[in-house]
Chain A
Amino acid sequence: MDLLKLIHKELRAEILNKEIIITMLSFGLSIIVIISFTSNLSKQIIEAYAPGLFWLMILFVTVLGVHRSYAYEKEFNAIDLILSAPIDRGLIFIAKALSGFIFITLMQALIVFPYFTFLSIDIDVNFFLLILSTLLINLTLMFVSNLISGISMRARISEILFPVLLFPLISPLIIAATNITNSIINQVPYIEWQVWIYLLISILIVFGLSGYALFDFILEE
């Protein structure tokens, strides 16, 4: 099970230096504070905008976190250790995406309370549905962003190239995520927003498969 070994490596790296979670958490918190200062408007506006702002924050946090998870591979050319191994390189992509999924979910669990408290939003929703859909969005987000991060990883200006490439490609996902969370908060029946779930699943399939198939080319010298 090469995949499990690779995921184990990602998790061990994170447990040892906690770079990714701390980066994401501290950046997320500071974004929330800035959002509170800049959106001192009526309560209705904030509540209507809350899902969009939430995913905007998650997108920024993802950029930093995922970039970090590829940056440490470049230090000491450490990635050579797994590139020289006889493994399917597509699995490196899957492992990075799945461990990124764990990190972003963990980070969200920690940040969701300050988010709603600082912005004084009260919601009363179907939490089961909200959590389930958020997990699917996180997974899709990680597949797309890990593919783009792999592409920009060895570029000279990877920290800029990554968001410049990611933001346009990920816009359908952000539209879907905002609409899903919005619909759940406003208790819209599932039948009216199921199309977004289908869209998410198709993004997951397209980017998951192309990432798995193309990662060998991306990492080859």
Chain B
Amino acid sequence: MFYENKKNLYLLIVAIFLFALNSLNIFYGTPMVPDQHWAQKIFYLHVPSAWVGFLSYFIAMISGFLFLSTKKDKWDITGTACAEIGTLFMSLVLITGPIWATPIWGKPWIWEPRLTTTLILFLTYVGYFMMRSFGGNIERVKKTSAVIAIIAFLNVPIIFFSVQFWSPELQSHPQVEMNQQPTGILIPFLISLFVFSFIFFVMLSYRKYVISINKNLTNNV
């Protein structure tokens, strides 16, 4: 099994440990921002989730390219795993975003470019998973879902700029310029970013393993 490989087990334990430390650090180790108070703490979860989500979809696009050019199953597996994990983190972004926005902007949803891009990518991937489940011929589904992963990510800058031009008054992302942050916020943020990325890679290797096991099971029946 997956965790019989000692390396995987240690990685999992390290990931859990890091996550716990990171959470403690966010609650007790970061300074309070005066006008946001506790609400600002979600920033340390929201932004790293978004980073992992986009990274994941980016890898899904690269895997899509590699699958189409090499036709190797491992790229299809990586692509699927990334699509799943990316969607999980994008849902976290879409949940934490409104939680953060409610006290800051006074309402849960504002058509802000980053949030909107996340929402649209998320919706595109809903279509991706529908293709995966109801597409029919599996060999063809692999190709079409690789194509979806590619165009979904190519569409990201287009969505971002269109929303930016559409509602220029809504540029007020609560914490935009990272280089203007005091180090008291920046360092814990970077730590959180690292921890989330680490968890992402642990999840990815596990998910890839589960998908390939599933494949072997259905083929041997």
Contact = CB atoms under 8 A, between A and B. Distances in A.
Nearest to A199: B162
B136 A171 contact: no
B124 A202 contact: no
Contacts, number: 94
Interface in A149-169: 151-152, 154-157, 160-161, 164-165, 167-169
B162 A172 contact: yes
Q: Do most interface residues of chain A lie in helix, strand or loop, or is the interface mixed?
A: helix
Q: Do most interface residues of chain B lie in helix, strand or loop, or is the interface mixed?
A: helix
Contacts of A202: 158
A74 B32 CA distance: 62
Interface in B137-181: 137, 139-141, 143-144, 146-148, 150-152, 154-155, 158-159, 161-163, 165-166
Given A165-B131, A210-B150, A155 B158 contact: no
Nearest to B167: A175
Interface stretch (A41-49, A56-64, A105-113, A213-221): A213-221
Nearest to B152: A169
A165 B68 CA distance: 20
Interface residues of B, number: 34
Interface of A: 147, 151-152, 154-157, 160-161, 164-165, 167-169, 171-172, 175-176, 179, 195-196, 199, 202-203, 206-207, 210, 214, 217-218, 220-221
Interface of B: 68, 120-121, 123-124, 126-128, 130-131, 134-137, 139-141, 143-144, 146-148, 150-152, 154-155, 158-159, 161-163, 165-166
